[in-house]
Amino acid sequence: MLFGLTLAYVFFIALVLLSLIYSRIFWGVKALLIILAIGFYSLSYQGWKETQGWPSKTALPERFLLHYAVVEEPDKEMGSEGRIYMWLTSTVDHQLAEEPRAFQLDYDLGLHGKLETAIREINNGNLQLGELNPNQAIEKGAKQKNRAGQKYLGLQFVKLPDPALPEK
């Protein structure tokens, strides 16, 4: 997305230069440049949403520390399919990433239940570590054959282990 933002700003600079150098451009070209400018503006806006803390729609990391989650249940009257928002910090080699990240997932009843339990544990003071087990998802996925919204069958939450204290 950063490449798209860079391309958008280069285009705007080129547009300004063209308007300064060639003041008598055919009106059709001017109209085309205006339409392209509007298109690049929308691309720039979408890119800024990604950099300004909007929830990511990418896949969850394999291991992460769950901070909190908010669940919007489906509502047929309002036409809402439901969403799950999770705030988490990914872990790599048992080290936390520098900053947490918000994720947006499609609503899933099974994940909703797991998250309610995990949030209850967090409220009781037990930090929760989320782990994706792709092998478990494949095994259960084969048995349940294409149930809609079952992307995270292998997701489980466990209590974060206590840190090992150094020897005296």
Q: What percentage of the chain exceeds 70 in pLDDT?
A: 79
Residue 146 — very low, low, confident or very high, per pLDDT cuts 50/70/90? very low
As given in the structure block, the two tokens for residue 119 are 């949030």
Is pLDDT at 140 greater than 50 in this prediction? no
Q: For the chain, give the mean pLDDT.
A: 78
pLDDT digits (tens, 9 = 90+) for 23-79: 677 777 777 777 777 777 777 777 676 666 678 888 888 889 999 999 999 988 888
Is pLDDT at 95 greater than 80 in this prediction? no
Is pLDDT at 114 greater than 90 in this prediction? yes
Q: Could you tell me if residue 149 is left (phi over 0), alpha (psi between -120 and 50 degrees) or otherwise beta?
A: left
Asked whether 72 and 96 are in contact (CB, 8 A), the reply is no
Asked whether 66 and 114 are in contact (CB, 8 A), the reply is no
Q: Answer with the residue of higher pLDDT: 52 or 161.
A: 161
Alpha helices in the chain (DSSP H): 2-21, 27-51, 109-123, 134-144
